[in-house]
Structure 1
Amino acid sequence: MKKLNTYLLALMSVFVLTWGACTDSYEYDPASAVVGEGVYFPSSIQTSITLEGTEGSFKLKVQRTKSENAGESGLVAEFDEGGENIFSIPDKVKFDAGDAETEVTIGYKNLVRGTTYNVKISFTENTSYGNSSLTFKVLYPAEVLEEWEVVSQDAVLIDQMFSPYGAKDIAISGITVEKEKNTAQYRFRSPYDADYFMSLFGETLIFSEELPYIILDGETYKNNAPGQYYIPATALGFKMVDGQGPVVDADWNTFGSVAGNLKTGDGPIEVGNPQYPAVSFDAATQMFDFGSCYHNLDGYGFFVINGGFKLYLDPALMAPDFDRDYTWATVEDGDGYFTSEIEGKSWMQVVQQAEEDPTFFRFTSLYAEGVHIYFNYDPEAKTLTMPKMQPTGLSTFGNAIYVDAVAGKCTVDAEDKFTFTLSFYLADEEGNKTAELLQSTETFLWGRTPIDLLQHGKKIDDYVGTWVVPVENGEQSGKIPVTITKADGTTLLVSGLSLMDNYDDTMALMYDEETGLLVFGYQPVASIQGFDAFVAPFNSVTGQLTRTSSECLVGGFNKAGVLTFVNNPDNQGVYDSMVYAVTGGGQLMLMSGFWNYLEWEPYAPAASFGTLDKVDFSMGTKSVEEGIVSKRTYKTELNLQAFPVQPSKLSLKVQRTAVQGFSLVR
């Protein structure tokens, strides 16, 4: 029984594939002498013709070097195998005025099956710009009865038919595949049935006839592209009407290989074209890779699907794909604080669990968006392991970086702190490790936020005193003394944080009696030189600050006794510092050009402070932007130095850009 394993994604936009034209063109010198009309056969003409049926006709293209006036040229024919009684060939070819090209129609009757006929036709005139005679073979093949035998009853198709709309990597199992006993052809019934459309679109398409076969044809082009297969243009019984959905259509050319079926303005795309690969077969994995296929979308044209379509004859030989093979659900209250040594930063990280295996988890989009990192965790045994050779989505100098766990160095403590010691490395196409980049310690606090790391239950008086605060402006850095005093039972006042002389920069921290933590958010402060001023959370990477009261930093003591402010996980943005800013004349600028970081150490008499330039306020200080910044930004190119594991030459893969403008080969 065929089974679908799928999940729906948001619709994606597609690009338009337009129709192209195909013409032959030749360069020649019109001043050169030709005989008569200068009639010739194009060099691209086929010299081997296979016919079906005992009688009918076919056409051959002919061209001439002159085209101003109407003209004609004599034509003579030579045969073998009694061809003169079978083929009817006109004794002349005619051109209308202005035409440089026409066709010769050759009729035939009483063909004998299994016979090859040799025919030579020649023009009585000639030109040096083309062949004035043509010898070609005509074959009426012997009738061969196809004999199909089952090679798999449990094949798996990795389906990409509706990938233009976001439905990717759909695994369809239980497919029966047959092979023609005497030729290199495989076939399987279309899996696009009523259940398929109900699963994807929530509606049933009713097909009036048995579902058609999809053919993997390794015979037609075996001389030009040995070992390659192509999928002929196939009417699957439906068409996708862009913007409306699928409808039943028995005659619509739905699907096939790009090579052998489509053409561009440069001509037909031949099977064997490396830019549009045909179907290939991997004997080791018993897998057909469909290469470059098209889905003919009504309203758009031919959408090219470059890769991803695969047919596995033996599911046991399929390469693991955790995204595809498991059903993932976010762990309730599992989000936790992830600190990365290789990234040099921390963030709140989502963790998901596989429904099929409760000990199998993944960090979603850990180092790169859309690239997940997987691990096995047994909460009873407290064991933590990872699958090997996982892609990270990171790269160094254009080379993909993979990750493995260092054996014996991944642990979970009693407070559910996960410690991963990871090896980041490069690998060749065979999966062999070629160079280690570094080892990094990554930690994850299951179900805990950065606020959970702060000491709860502190009294408001514990925060009163003098603190040493790091400051920076992008060029200079140093430390300044800052004083905290108590205003009342829930309010602390901070002064000295702005670096401005002769300015009352007092701002407030709110004390939460229930948790013993502090809250800092946007607040107006004393004006300066007639300009409105405020202090607010700031992102030093993007240069953005917020004037939204709901965005805040939470403060408290860490285990070392340092007064630490952390980004509130409920914020829409991410903030790592505090700034004083002014508004005036439509401008938004930092008051002193410096910003203040979030780890404040207790003041000691012997504390040393960096030398900072004297700060005088002017509207020439650094401008900033207002708004909510994204929660997470990804930097995937690391440019790390590699340390070779063994001599190996790295290969860089260049992804080709698909050429637009396709039409059917006719």
Structure 2
Amino acid sequence: MKKLNTYLLVLMGVFALTWSACTDSYDYDPAEEIAGAQVYFSTAMPSQVNLAKNATSFDVTVSRINTTEALTVNLTTTDKSGLFTIPTTANFATGAETIKLSIGYDPDKLEYDDFKAITIAIADANLTTPYGTSTYSFKAGIPAPWTSLGNAIFSDAFLFEKTYQVELQQNDLDPTMYRLVDPYSQGLEAEGLSTHGDQSPYLTFQILKAGDMINKVKITTDGLVHFDAYCTGFYNTSNDYNKNVDAHHPSDFTNFQAESFWMYSTVKAYTKEGKPAIVQLAPYYYMDGLGGWDYSQKDGVVRIAFPGIVLTDYTAEVAYIGRYTDVSNKNYAIAKVTLGEDVESAKIALVSGEDIEAAAKGIIDGSIKSEELTENGTITFPCDEGGVYSFVVVTYGSGEAQENASVTFNFSTGGSPFDDLLQGTSIDDYVGNWLIPAATSSASGNLAASVKKVDNQTLVVKGLLGEDGYDDTFYLDYDKETGWIILAPQDVEPYDGYDAVLALINSSAGKLTTKEYFVGGLTKDGKLTFLNAESNTVEWDSFGYCAITDKGASLYSPYCKLIWSSVKKQSAEMNTKLLKGFSMQPLQMNKKTFSTAKNIKVAQTIDGVMVK
């Protein structure tokens, strides 16, 4: 599906330039003829010259326009390294347009990837030309040799929905060093992300062993991965930030100078021969001078499956969606779990505090009580006291534990909007016709839709848009433990040739999300009321249908509100009246603009001092 991105509409004026004259003849002075040899350096010559380890010289071309006579041209040179032998004259034969300067070097004295600055200039200004450059400045050095291993499968879950085939190279001199060639350009273009083309040409990483050093810290764990800071190329225009988003290893920041902060950048799987098969990186995404997003303690952010390796998805997502109190006045915390495609089973536990690693180990060795899951859904845990808690999930596949996911939250046993939702409501009580308050930019009213039961865990909503020939179906998930339902973003039928989604919306800000959701239930007065899940980062006030156009996300429905009323009969005429004349409206995608207050950390609230 095409990615949702910020949609900017720019109105540009069109101006006509006119010119007129009242005479047909003009006087002019011819350009003065340029004398001399007119010696120059071609502007097409490279700014970096890659030298060979098995050579001792390279050539620089000097050109001239006037070739009638033999000519010796004096040169001035600058080479602070003192490692190059550079001629001080260029000697042209009669009729010769170019001469090659042979610059000598000793390859044994040059370090790999250490490029030295050199400048060559024509000493006599009378021999130059205004139509060419009289100075050539460049860098010369021997690049470290790399061997292509083929195409790896690359993904960055922070930016991209899809995976991409990207060339992976291994350093011939240090086989622990690898690099991806231009890993971000494909995704930026394919998924419609804003960019100024500043993405780094390489993503370079090194697989470490116990005893290696990072910032003078000796690590104790085999298989950790360090990577050089790089620019993703994503240019964040939200909130007028107008900054590139870079990716850093957490060791680049002064607050993360311990091995415990580096454990999520690691080799996730090895081949039978002991070679790396899957590597994951856990970057701190950062906008210079502003702040960023700390993904350094998360699994599955950047994943690299080496050539020939099938990338498996053993990830999980877990969210705290709220609390409910049963008729016996017992409190429960509710988790929503989404399992990766290759997860065979998972275990989840509710633990006090936020020591995720200890909890995951306890789940695996059985010292912490957990519940087993084999499919996506919600699960509740008794929780009688307020405080800081974490849901921790461990996924399993191929007979062993694979990855873990967690969410930490503040649990309160006091009053909550969820207290107004009736508990234990049967799925059948949601079946019927409902009036849904809705609004456009110029009108408001009610839409009618029918809710029917699909199975014991699913409800289907139809008829909300009432448009002939368009299937506006979307689904609600039912949780039998609480009796509540979940309205989550989802794919819907394409609209006008574009992919489309049902999304949560903040109508006042004109933003949407496809990552958060509503929790709904019946109230005492029979209303079907939807609330923001406890883990939502924005107060979403409505939902709607959005098309993913070439210019971004556009709403093609009214803003549908969150308190529904039961009605005996659905009225298609009512829907038609409100929808008449409605036109698509651009929205901002919250995942792409990253403008959520809880997600963005400004420079004053993080210690963003670089230590490299």
Tell me the TM-score range normalised by the shorter chain: 0.3 to 0.5
Max Rg structure: 1
Report the TM-score, using the length of structure 1 for normalisation: 0.32
